[in-house]
Amino acid sequence: MRISLSDAGKRFNREWIFRKLHYSFESGNSYAITGPNGSGKSTLLQAIAGALTISEGKVTYQLNGNAIADDAVFKQIAIAAPYLELIEEMTATEFLSFHGGFKPFLPNHTIPEMLTVVGIEKAAHKQIRYYSSGMKQRLKLAQAVFSDTPVLLLDEPTTNLDASGSAMYLSLMEKYAKDRLVIVCSNDPHEYVFCSQSLDIMGYK
């Protein structure tokens, strides 16, 4: 998978968040998008995900050398981000099962196994509304990381996680980031320690 931005720019009202961004993201690599609070990391990630229309330039997607239509892109991308809501009325088991109906999970991974890996197996049948913020974050990571997609987008992946949760996240990356295209938006070097490439959004103002 290859995601290319050419001359990409995004403006909210009169303010350019980023501009003249030429960059290609390729499978087998992990990228960090860095920059201070409010600099536009999440905005850029949303543009990469195809969830936000850019104001100028182009975002294109290629799988094995073939262009992917914009409306087929979502099947290729899994994302975990603070602004993406869980369905609070569901249990974690129901939520992952519902999600798996749209986007299959990696083969040979059952829902109980996924919940065990992220450490919330005891709450498998508890409604998400009663989860702590760290438990919700663990569920978001499970949903994204175990999706069978070539692209994995993570915005502030260790938000609300304790030390064991942060270690769990890094071991997930060690196991499930290889061969995929992973992009992490972060201010915290611990979250992107495994990334080989980094893009400082302040260079595109």
Ligand X SMILES: Nc1ncnc2c1ncn2[C@@H]1O[C@H](COP(=O)(O)OP(=O)(O)OP(=O)(O)O)[C@@H](O)[C@H]1O
Q: Are strands 2-12 and 15-26 parallel, antiparallel or unpaired?
A: antiparallel
Q: Per CB under 6 A, which of residues 105..144 are in contact with ligand X? A: none
| CB nearer ligand X, residue 30 or residue 43 | 43
Task: Report residue 186: phi and psi, to 5°.
Answer: -165, 155
For residue 42, state whether it binds ligand X (rule: CB under 6 A).
yes
| Rg over CA atoms, the chain | 17
Q: Are strands 66-67 and 56-63 parallel, antiparallel or unpaired?
A: antiparallel
Tokens of 29: 């690599």
DSSP 24: E
For residue 14, state whether it binds ligand X (rule: CB under 6 A).
no
| CB nearer ligand X, residue 77 or residue 123 | 77
CA 155 → CA 34, 65, 70, 95, 144, distances in Å?
11, 27, 22, 20, 11
| Least distance (Å) between residue 134 CB and ligand X | 18
| CB nearer ligand X, residue 34 or residue 111 | 34
Q: Sketch the per residue contact string, 172 through 191, with ligand X: x for CB under 6 A, - otherwise.
A: ---------------x----
| Least distance (Å) between residue 79 CB and ligand X | 14
Tokens of 34: 């860095």
| CB nearer ligand X, residue 127 or residue 166 | 166
Q: Which of 1, 3, 17, 168 binds ligand X (CB under 6 A)?
A: 17
- Hey, how many other C-beta atoms are within 10 angstroms of the C-beta on 8? 22
| Least distance (Å) between residue 53 CB and ligand X | 12
For residue 158, state whether it binds ligand X (rule: CB under 6 A).
no
Q: Sketch the per residue contact string, 70 through 109, with ligand X: x for CB under 6 A, - otherwise.
A: ----------------------------------------
- Hey, how many other C-beta atoms are within 10 angstroms of the C-beta on 13? 4
| Least distance (Å) between residue 92 CB and ligand X | 25
CA angle 151, 192, 98 (to 5 degrees): 40
Site residues, ligand X (CB under 6 A): 12, 17, 35, 37-43, 187
